Amino acid sequence: MNPRRNFLRASAAGLFGAALVSRGQAASLPEAPLRDKPDMAPPLEPSNGRPYQPVATLNGWTLPWRMKNGWKEFHLVAEPVRRQIAPGMTAHLWGYNGQSPGPTIECVEGDKVRIFVTNKLPEHTTIHWHGILLPNGMDGVGGLTQPHIPVGRTFVYEFEMKKSGTFMYHPHADEMVQLAMGMMGFFVVHPRDPGFMPVDRDFVFLLNAFDIEPGAYTPKVSTMLDFNLWCWNSRVFPGIDHFVVRKDDRVRIRFGNLTMTSHPIHMHGYDFEVTCTDGGWVREAARWPEVTVDVAVGQMRAFEFVASEPGDWAIHCHKSHHTMNAMGHNVPTMIGVDQRGIVRKLIDLVPEYMVMGERGMADMGEMEMPLPDNTLPMMTGAGQFGAIEMGGMFSVVKVREGLARNDYRDPGWYRHPKGSVAYALRDGARAPAAARASAAKKGGRVVRARKPGNGTHRH
C-alpha cells in the first residue's frame, strides 16, 4: 500500500479543452488525476465541504475534486489502461484515469456535483450513474437520454445528490465490449448527518470477470459465461488487498456485481446484516442475519459487523470455480483413475510428466507447472501453514488489536493464542505422508513434480 501517486495529466486539459461541451459556467476542465499503481491508496480525507468518513477502495483510490462556486467538480478520463491482475499477469483493459476500475467517487447528500467525462477510447462512450436519483438527461444512456460522447470530446454531467447510499458508474454505450474491458467505478454518497449509520472502516469493491487466454493480454469481449478470471476490482487472489481491521471497529463492506452471474459472498468468523443496497439503506426491522450474501448481476450490497473476533478470516465467493484462476476449466476429473501403467510409458517420452488429480487436485496448489508468460496458476497463494490453494474472488479479513485509527497496512499473519489451532493426532500424522511417497514411486521411477521455487510466475 504505497502512498497515492497522482500527477496532473497536462495533456488532458491542453488537448481536450477546446472540445469541451458545456454551459458557460463550466469553462475550464479540472485536473484529471492519474494513478498507475494497483495497491490500495489510503482513504481520501475530505479537504473541503461536508465532513464524512471516507471509504477504502480495495486495490484502488478515490478521485480528488475541486470546489468551484459551490459545485464539486470531478474529471474522469475514459481510456485504455494496463492493469496488473496479480503479480505475474497484466491485462490490457479499458478504464478511467489510469486504472480499471476507475477511481471511486465520494460526495455527500445535498452536494451539487459536476463530472467532466473525457473520451480517450477508440470508440464513443457514455457514463450511467447506477442507482443515483437524477434528472433524466443526466442518466447517461447513449441514444436514449444523450448523444454518445464522441472520441476526443468531453461531456459534462451535473446533478444534486438527493440521497446517500452505495452506487456505481459504468458506460451505457457498447456495453458488451466496454464492461467486458473493465469500465466501471464505485460511487459512494455519504449521509448529510455524519452520525447516521457511522462506521470506523468502510471498504468498497466491484466484482468483475474477464476471459483472457493464458499468454494473452486482452479480454475476449464476446464471452458470456465461461470467464477464467473472477475479480474484485480487476484483481484476483493473491493480488486482492486484505481487509485490515482494528479489533472492535464497526466495519462496513460494500460491493457491486458487474459480472454475468451472481456471487454468494461468504465471510468467515462473523454473522452480519445487509444494511444498504443500491436502492438505499435497509431499515433495521427489515434486516436479518447472514453469513453469506448473494449479489445478483447489477446489484450492490453493503453489510456491517463489529470486529470483535481477532484472526485471519477468509472472505470469498462461494462458487468454487470463482476462487480459481485461468485454466480452471476443461480439466478432466482424474480422481480414482489409476494412471500407473500409462505413466511409465509417458515418462520415457516426457521425463517431467506429472501425475495430477488422482487424489484430488490440491497438489496443484504446490506444483510449479510451466506456464506461458502472463497468466496465473489456477490455485495459488501461501499462508503461514502452507499453500492456500485459491485464486479469483478470495481475500482475508485481518482483525487485529491495537491498530491506529487509519492504519490499513498489512499486519502479517495472525498469531494464534497457544492451543487454539486445529492439530494433528500423533498417529494420524504419518499415514498421508507415507501414502504420498508410495504414490510418487511408479515402477521404481520417481515422478518429478517441481515445487515452487524461483519461478517467474510467483512472488
Q: Catalog residues that contact Cu ion under the rule CB under 5 A.
A: 263, 317, 319, 322
| β-pair partners for 105 | 187
423, 266 in Cβ contact below 8 A?
Answer: no
Listing DSSP states for 170-187 in one string gives E--SSHHHHHHTT--EEE
Coil, helix or strand at residue 137:
helix
**Least distance between Cu ion and beta carbon 322 (Å):** 3
Of 374 and 395, the one with the shorter C-beta distance to Cu ion is: 395
The H-or-E segment that residue 400 falls in is: strand 394-400
Of 78 and 317, the one with the shorter C-beta distance to Cu ion is: 317
- State CA 14 to chain mean position distance: 33
β-pairing, 71-86 with 112-119? Answer: parallel
**Least distance between Cu ion and beta carbon 391 (Å):** 12
Of 105 and 258, the one with the shorter C-beta distance to Cu ion is: 258
**Least distance between Cu ion and beta carbon 316 (Å):** 8
Coil, helix or strand at residue 141:
coil
Closest CA to 160 of 185, 140, 186, 189: 189
160, 107 in Cβ contact below 8 A?
Answer: no
Of 16 and 394, the one with the shorter C-beta distance to Cu ion is: 394
Of 130 and 316, the one with the shorter C-beta distance to Cu ion is: 316
Of 125 and 257, the one with the shorter C-beta distance to Cu ion is: 257
Q: In angstroms, rounded to a whole number, what is the distance separating the alpha carbons of residues 148 and 154?
A: 11
**Least distance between Cu ion and beta carbon 310 (Å):** 27
- Residues in contact with 237: Cβ distance below 8 Å, sequence separation at least 6, in sequence order: 86, 323, 325, 380, 381, 388, 390, 391, 392, 393, 394, 395
**Least distance between Cu ion and beta carbon 257 (Å):** 9
446 — phi, psi (to 5°)? -105, 125
Of 161 and 209, the one with the shorter C-beta distance to Cu ion is: 209
Q: How many helices (H) and strands (E) does the chain have?
A: 4, 26
**Least distance between Cu ion and beta carbon 449 (Å):** 30
**Least distance between Cu ion and beta carbon 390 (Å):** 13
Of 319 and 359, the one with the shorter C-beta distance to Cu ion is: 319
Q: In angstroms, rounded to a whole number, what is the distance separating the alpha carbons of residues 231 and 209?
A: 5
- Residues in contact with 293: Cβ distance below 8 Å, sequence separation at least 6, in sequence order: 264, 265, 272, 274, 301, 303
**Least distance between Cu ion and beta carbon 325 (Å):** 13
